[in-house]
Protein backbone atom coordinates (compact mmCIF):
# COMPACT_ATOMS: atom_id res chain seq x y z
CA UNK A 1 0.00 0.00 0.00
CA UNK A 2 1.32 3.44 -0.96
CA UNK A 3 0.93 6.35 1.44
CA UNK A 4 -1.62 8.81 0.06
CA UNK A 5 -1.95 12.39 1.23
CA UNK A 6 -2.16 13.85 4.72
CA UNK A 7 -5.56 15.48 5.30
CA UNK A 8 -4.59 17.51 8.37
CA UNK A 9 -3.67 17.53 12.02
CA UNK A 10 -4.63 14.81 14.48
CA UNK A 11 -3.53 16.63 17.64
CA UNK A 12 -1.11 19.16 19.10
CA UNK A 13 0.73 18.31 22.34
CA UNK A 14 2.08 21.05 24.59
CA UNK A 15 3.64 21.38 28.05
CA UNK A 16 1.99 23.11 31.00
CA UNK A 17 2.85 23.58 34.66
CA UNK A 18 -0.10 23.59 37.07
CA UNK A 19 -2.70 20.92 36.11
CA UNK A 20 -5.71 22.65 37.69
CA UNK A 21 -4.89 26.00 36.12
CA UNK A 22 -4.50 24.28 32.74
CA UNK A 23 -7.87 22.55 33.13
CA UNK A 24 -9.61 25.75 34.21
CA UNK A 25 -8.27 27.69 31.21
CA UNK A 26 -9.00 25.21 28.43
CA UNK A 27 -12.26 23.67 29.67
CA UNK A 28 -13.49 26.61 31.73
CA UNK A 29 -12.49 29.64 29.67
CA UNK A 30 -12.09 28.30 26.11
CA UNK A 31 -14.88 25.75 26.51
CA UNK A 32 -13.02 22.76 25.05
CA UNK A 33 -14.29 19.44 26.30
CA UNK A 34 -12.00 17.56 28.68
CA UNK A 35 -12.13 14.31 26.72
CA UNK A 36 -9.53 12.22 28.54
CA UNK A 37 -7.62 12.31 31.80
CA UNK A 38 -4.82 9.83 31.71
CA UNK A 39 -1.11 9.75 32.53
CA UNK A 40 2.05 10.39 30.59
CA UNK A 41 2.89 6.82 29.50
CA UNK A 42 6.61 7.64 29.75
CA UNK A 43 6.25 9.36 33.13
CA UNK A 44 3.12 7.94 34.85
CA UNK A 45 3.54 10.17 37.90
CA UNK A 46 2.24 13.06 35.79
CA UNK A 47 -1.03 13.63 33.97
CA UNK A 48 -1.71 13.69 30.26
CA UNK A 49 -4.78 15.83 29.51
CA UNK A 50 -6.73 15.77 26.24
CA UNK A 51 -9.10 18.57 25.19
CA UNK A 52 -11.23 18.60 22.06
CA UNK A 53 -14.73 18.65 20.68
CA UNK A 54 -17.58 16.61 22.15
CA UNK A 55 -16.11 13.28 21.02
CA UNK A 56 -12.43 14.11 20.75
CA UNK A 57 -12.51 14.17 16.96
CA UNK A 58 -9.04 14.08 15.33
CA UNK A 59 -8.24 17.61 14.24
CA UNK A 60 -9.72 19.15 17.40
CA UNK A 61 -7.44 17.66 20.06
CA UNK A 62 -5.05 19.76 22.12
CA UNK A 63 -3.16 17.72 24.70
CA UNK A 64 -0.93 18.68 27.62
CA UNK A 65 1.74 17.22 29.82
CA UNK A 66 1.20 19.34 32.96
CA UNK A 67 4.42 19.15 34.98
CA UNK A 68 4.04 21.10 38.24
CA UNK A 69 6.82 23.67 38.71
CA UNK A 70 8.05 23.18 35.14
CA UNK A 71 10.27 26.02 33.96
CA UNK A 72 9.05 28.36 31.22
CA UNK A 73 10.13 27.63 27.64
CA UNK A 74 11.02 30.12 24.92
CA UNK A 75 9.81 30.54 21.35
CA UNK A 76 12.16 30.31 18.41
CA UNK A 77 13.17 28.25 15.36
CA UNK A 78 12.75 24.50 15.63
CA UNK A 79 9.34 24.58 17.29
CA UNK A 80 5.69 25.45 16.77
CA UNK A 81 5.31 29.17 17.41
CA UNK A 82 1.50 29.36 17.63
CA UNK A 83 -1.57 27.12 17.57
CA UNK A 84 -4.75 28.49 16.00
CA UNK A 85 -8.35 27.35 16.49
CA UNK A 86 -11.16 28.06 14.03
CA UNK A 87 -14.21 30.05 15.08
CA UNK A 88 -17.04 31.67 13.14
CA UNK A 89 -16.05 35.10 11.78
CA UNK A 90 -19.14 36.43 13.60
CA UNK A 91 -17.71 35.24 16.95
CA UNK A 92 -14.59 37.40 17.13
CA UNK A 93 -16.37 40.11 19.14
CA UNK A 94 -17.78 37.54 21.54
CA UNK A 95 -14.33 36.10 22.19
CA UNK A 96 -12.65 39.49 22.51
CA UNK A 97 -15.20 40.39 25.21
CA UNK A 98 -14.93 37.04 26.97
CA UNK A 99 -11.15 37.17 27.16
CA UNK A 100 -11.27 40.75 28.41
CA UNK A 101 -13.75 39.76 31.15
CA UNK A 102 -11.35 37.00 32.22
CA UNK A 103 -8.40 39.45 32.24
CA UNK A 104 -6.67 37.75 29.30
CA UNK A 105 -4.83 40.30 27.14
CA UNK A 106 -5.60 39.74 23.44
CA UNK A 107 -4.60 41.52 20.24
CA UNK A 108 -6.22 41.62 16.81
CA UNK A 109 -4.59 39.79 13.92
CA UNK A 110 -5.32 39.88 10.21
CA UNK A 111 -3.78 37.32 7.91
CA UNK A 112 -4.54 36.15 4.36
CA UNK A 113 -8.01 37.70 4.40
CA UNK A 114 -9.04 36.30 7.79
CA UNK A 115 -9.42 38.23 11.04
CA UNK A 116 -8.70 36.84 14.48
CA UNK A 117 -7.27 37.41 17.93
CA UNK A 118 -4.10 36.17 19.58
CA UNK A 119 -3.26 35.70 23.26
CA UNK A 120 -1.28 33.44 25.57
CA UNK A 121 -2.40 30.83 28.08
CA UNK A 122 -1.26 30.97 31.75
CA UNK A 123 2.05 29.28 30.84
CA UNK A 124 2.77 31.54 27.87
CA UNK A 125 1.59 29.18 25.08
CA UNK A 126 0.73 31.36 22.08
CA UNK A 127 -2.83 30.76 20.86
CA UNK A 128 -5.01 32.24 18.12
CA UNK A 129 -8.72 32.22 17.38
CA UNK A 130 -9.24 32.75 13.65
CA UNK A 131 -12.53 33.63 12.00
CA UNK A 132 -12.46 30.91 9.36
CA UNK A 133 -14.24 31.10 6.02
CA UNK A 134 -14.76 27.32 6.14
CA UNK A 135 -15.67 25.59 9.41
CA UNK A 136 -15.05 21.85 9.66
CA UNK A 137 -17.89 19.50 10.59
CA UNK A 138 -16.85 18.90 14.18
CA UNK A 139 -19.14 18.53 17.19
CA UNK A 140 -18.89 21.35 19.75
CA UNK A 141 -19.41 20.41 23.39
CA UNK A 142 -23.15 20.98 23.95
CA UNK A 143 -22.85 21.22 27.74
CA UNK A 144 -19.87 23.54 27.75
CA UNK A 145 -19.79 27.17 28.89
CA UNK A 146 -19.70 28.62 25.35
CA UNK A 147 -22.87 29.14 23.25
CA UNK A 148 -22.68 26.65 20.37
CA UNK A 149 -22.65 29.37 17.70
CA UNK A 150 -19.46 30.79 19.23
CA UNK A 151 -17.75 27.49 20.14
CA UNK A 152 -14.26 26.60 18.96
CA UNK A 153 -14.49 24.42 15.84
CA UNK A 154 -11.28 22.44 15.89
CA UNK A 155 -7.87 23.55 14.69
CA UNK A 156 -7.46 26.23 12.06
CA UNK A 157 -3.67 25.91 11.70
CA UNK A 158 -0.27 25.78 13.33
CA UNK A 159 2.70 28.05 12.61
CA UNK A 160 6.15 26.45 12.62
CA UNK A 161 9.15 28.71 13.26
CA UNK A 162 12.18 27.66 11.18
CA UNK A 163 15.59 29.01 10.21
CA UNK A 164 14.76 28.32 6.56
CA UNK A 165 11.66 26.80 5.05
CA UNK A 166 12.61 25.05 1.81
CA UNK A 167 13.38 21.56 3.14
CA UNK A 168 10.31 21.48 5.38
CA UNK A 169 8.22 22.78 2.48
CA UNK A 170 9.53 19.98 0.28
CA UNK A 171 8.48 17.38 2.88
CA UNK A 172 4.95 18.67 3.29
CA UNK A 173 4.35 19.25 -0.44
CA UNK A 174 6.17 16.41 -2.21
CA UNK A 175 5.53 13.80 0.50
CA UNK A 176 2.43 14.89 2.47
CA UNK A 177 0.63 16.33 -0.56
CA UNK A 178 0.08 19.87 0.77
CA UNK A 179 -0.02 22.88 -1.57
CA UNK A 180 1.46 26.35 -1.17
CA UNK A 181 -1.68 28.52 -1.07
CA UNK A 182 -0.39 31.94 0.02
CA UNK A 183 2.65 33.82 1.26
CA UNK A 184 3.40 37.15 2.89
CA UNK A 185 6.86 38.29 3.91
CA UNK A 186 8.47 35.50 5.91
CA UNK A 187 5.21 33.48 6.25
CA UNK A 188 4.41 30.69 3.79
CA UNK A 189 0.99 29.03 4.02
CA UNK A 190 0.45 25.41 3.01
CA UNK A 191 -2.83 23.49 3.07
CA UNK A 192 -3.94 19.93 2.49
CA UNK A 193 -6.23 19.18 -0.43
CA UNK A 194 -9.04 18.11 1.93
CA UNK A 195 -10.91 21.41 2.14
CA UNK A 196 -13.36 20.17 4.81
CA UNK A 197 -10.76 18.80 7.23
CA UNK A 198 -10.04 20.48 10.57
CA UNK A 199 -6.42 21.58 11.00
CA UNK A 200 -5.55 21.42 7.28
CA UNK A 201 -3.25 24.48 7.30
CA UNK A 202 0.38 24.79 8.35
CA UNK A 203 2.28 28.07 8.11
CA UNK A 204 6.07 28.02 7.85
CA UNK A 205 7.74 31.07 9.37
CA UNK A 206 11.32 31.94 8.43
CA UNK A 207 12.92 33.38 11.59
CA UNK A 208 16.70 32.89 11.08
CA UNK A 209 17.71 35.86 13.20
CA UNK A 210 16.47 34.49 16.53
CA UNK A 211 17.94 31.81 18.79
CA UNK A 212 16.47 28.33 18.80
CA UNK A 213 13.45 27.88 21.05
CA UNK A 214 13.46 25.71 24.17
CA UNK A 215 10.65 23.26 24.74
CA UNK A 216 9.30 23.57 28.30
CA UNK A 217 6.14 24.97 29.93
CA UNK A 218 4.23 27.15 27.49
CA UNK A 219 5.58 25.49 24.36
CA UNK A 220 4.46 22.81 21.93
CA UNK A 221 6.18 19.44 22.34
CA UNK A 222 5.04 18.01 18.99
CA UNK A 223 2.29 18.07 16.37
CA UNK A 224 0.57 14.99 15.00
CA UNK A 225 -0.91 14.42 11.55
CA UNK A 226 -3.74 11.98 10.80
CA UNK A 227 -3.54 8.51 9.28
CA UNK A 228 -6.88 6.79 8.68
CA UNK A 229 -5.72 3.39 10.00
CA UNK A 230 -2.73 1.20 10.92
CA UNK A 231 -2.07 0.14 7.34
CA UNK A 232 -1.85 3.72 6.12
CA UNK A 233 0.42 4.61 9.04
CA UNK A 234 2.81 1.77 8.19
CA UNK A 235 2.86 2.96 4.58
CA UNK A 236 3.82 6.43 5.82
CA UNK A 237 6.55 4.94 7.99
CA UNK A 238 8.01 3.00 5.06
CA UNK A 239 7.90 6.08 2.84
CA UNK A 240 9.63 8.30 5.42
CA UNK A 241 12.35 5.72 6.06
CA UNK A 242 12.95 5.50 2.30
CA UNK A 243 13.44 9.27 2.31
CA UNK A 244 16.13 8.98 4.98
CA UNK A 245 14.20 10.01 8.11
CA UNK A 246 14.79 8.31 11.44
CA UNK A 247 11.30 7.13 12.37
CA UNK A 248 10.32 5.41 15.62
CA UNK A 249 8.62 2.03 15.64
CA UNK A 250 4.84 2.18 16.08
CA UNK A 251 3.98 3.19 19.67
CA UNK A 252 0.67 2.20 21.27
CA UNK A 253 -0.96 5.28 22.84
CA UNK A 254 -4.19 3.34 23.62
CA UNK A 255 -6.47 5.83 21.83
CA UNK A 256 -4.30 5.93 18.71
CA UNK A 257 -1.03 4.47 17.42
CA UNK A 258 1.91 6.77 16.77
CA UNK A 259 5.16 7.14 14.87
CA UNK A 260 7.54 10.07 15.44
CA UNK A 261 10.33 11.77 13.50
CA UNK A 262 12.06 15.16 13.26
CA UNK A 263 11.27 17.24 10.21
CA UNK A 264 14.21 19.10 8.59
CA UNK A 265 13.70 22.25 10.65
CA UNK A 266 13.81 20.36 13.94
CA UNK A 267 10.10 20.23 14.87
CA UNK A 268 8.96 16.85 16.21
CA UNK A 269 6.30 15.42 13.89
CA UNK A 270 4.00 12.49 14.67
CA UNK A 271 1.63 10.54 12.47
CA UNK A 272 -1.25 9.15 14.54
CA UNK A 273 -4.08 6.81 13.58
CA UNK A 274 -7.69 7.98 13.81
CA UNK A 275 -8.92 4.76 15.50
CA UNK A 276 -9.58 3.47 18.07
CA UNK A 277 -10.49 6.88 19.52
CA UNK A 278 -11.41 8.24 22.93
CA UNK A 279 -14.64 6.27 23.34
CA UNK A 280 -12.58 3.08 23.56
CA UNK A 281 -12.94 2.97 27.36
CA UNK A 282 -15.59 5.61 28.14
CA UNK A 283 -19.00 6.47 26.70
CA UNK A 284 -19.36 9.89 25.12
CA UNK A 285 -21.23 11.31 28.10
CA UNK A 286 -18.51 10.06 30.50
CA UNK A 287 -15.45 11.36 28.68
CA UNK A 288 -12.86 12.91 30.98
CA UNK A 289 -14.65 12.04 34.20
CA UNK A 290 -12.39 9.18 35.34
CA UNK A 291 -8.66 8.61 35.45
CA UNK A 292 -7.83 6.16 32.68
CA UNK A 293 -4.48 4.40 32.62
CA UNK A 294 -3.25 1.75 30.20
CA UNK A 295 -3.84 -1.89 31.07
CA UNK A 296 -0.13 -2.56 31.61
CA UNK A 297 -0.06 0.07 34.39
CA UNK A 298 -3.25 -0.98 36.22
CA UNK A 299 -1.33 -2.89 38.89
CA UNK A 300 0.33 0.38 39.89
CA UNK A 301 -2.90 2.42 39.97
CA UNK A 302 -2.99 2.97 43.78
CA UNK A 303 0.54 4.38 43.74
CA UNK A 304 -0.13 6.50 40.63
CA UNK A 305 -3.29 7.98 42.15
CA UNK A 306 -1.38 8.85 45.32
CA UNK A 307 1.27 10.77 43.36
CA UNK A 308 -1.04 12.71 41.03
CA UNK A 309 -2.30 16.06 42.38
CA UNK A 310 -6.08 16.26 42.88
CA UNK A 311 -8.01 18.12 40.16
CA UNK A 312 -11.59 19.33 39.88
CA UNK A 313 -13.57 19.87 36.68
CA UNK A 314 -14.63 23.51 36.20
CA UNK A 315 -18.26 24.13 37.11
Alpha-carbon gap, residue 112 to 288, rounded angstroms: 36
Alpha-carbon gap, residue 9 to 198, rounded angstroms: 7
- Provide mean pLDDT across the span 122-133: 96
Task: Give me the chain's average pLDDT, please.
Answer: 95
Alpha-carbon gap, residue 205 to 139, rounded angstroms: 31
Residue whose C-alpha is closest to residue 89's, from 134, 33, 144: 134
Please give the pLDDT value at position 3: 66
Please give the pLDDT value at position 108: 97
- Provide mean pLDDT across the span 139-154: 96
Please give the pLDDT value at position 90: 97
Please give the pLDDT value at position 235: 97
The radius of gyration of the chain from alpha carbons, rounded to an integer in Å, stands at 18
CA dihedral 33, 36, 42, 44 (to 10 degrees): 110
Alpha-carbon gap, residue 233 to 22, rounded angstroms: 31
Please give the pLDDT value at position 221: 96
Residue whose C-alpha is closest to residue 178's, from 188, 169, 186, 187: 169
Whether pLDDT at 315 is above 90: no
Alpha-carbon gap, residue 158 to 59, rounded angstroms: 11
Sign of the alpha-carbon dihedral angle for 34, 228, 272, 11: negative
Domain boundaries, the chain: 9-307
CATH 3.40.50.300 for domain 9-307, yes or no, is no
Residue whose C-alpha is closest to residue 266's, from 172, 178, 168: 168
Report strand pairing: 33-40 vs 43-52: antiparallel
CB 33 within 8 A of CB 56: yes
Please give the pLDDT value at position 54: 97
Please give the pLDDT value at position 214: 85
Report strand pairing: 79-87 vs 155-162: antiparallel
Counted residue by residue, the chain has a size of 315
For residue 71, what pLDDT band results from cuts at 50, 70 and 90?
A: very high
Of all residues in the chain, the percent with pLDDT exceeding 70 is 99
Whether pLDDT at 2 is above 70: no
Angle at 80 between CA 252 and CA 137, to 5 degrees: 70
Alpha-carbon gap, residue 39 to 49, rounded angstroms: 8
- Provide mean pLDDT across the span 202-211: 89
Alpha-carbon gap, residue 217 to 102, rounded angstroms: 21
- Provide mean pLDDT across the span 64-73: 93
Model confidence over 253-274: pLDDT tens digits? Answer: 999 999 999 999 999 999 999 9
Of all residues in the chain, the percent with pLDDT exceeding 90 is 90
Amino acid sequence: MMAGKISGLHHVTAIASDPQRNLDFYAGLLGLRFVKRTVNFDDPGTYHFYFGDNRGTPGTILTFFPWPRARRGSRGPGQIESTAFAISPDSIGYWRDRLQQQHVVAEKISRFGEEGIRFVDPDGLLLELVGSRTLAAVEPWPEGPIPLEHAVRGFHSVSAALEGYENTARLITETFGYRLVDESGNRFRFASTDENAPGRIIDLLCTPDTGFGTVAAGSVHHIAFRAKDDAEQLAWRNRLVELGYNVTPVVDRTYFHSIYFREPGGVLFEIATEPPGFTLDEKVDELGTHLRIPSWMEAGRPQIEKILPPIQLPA
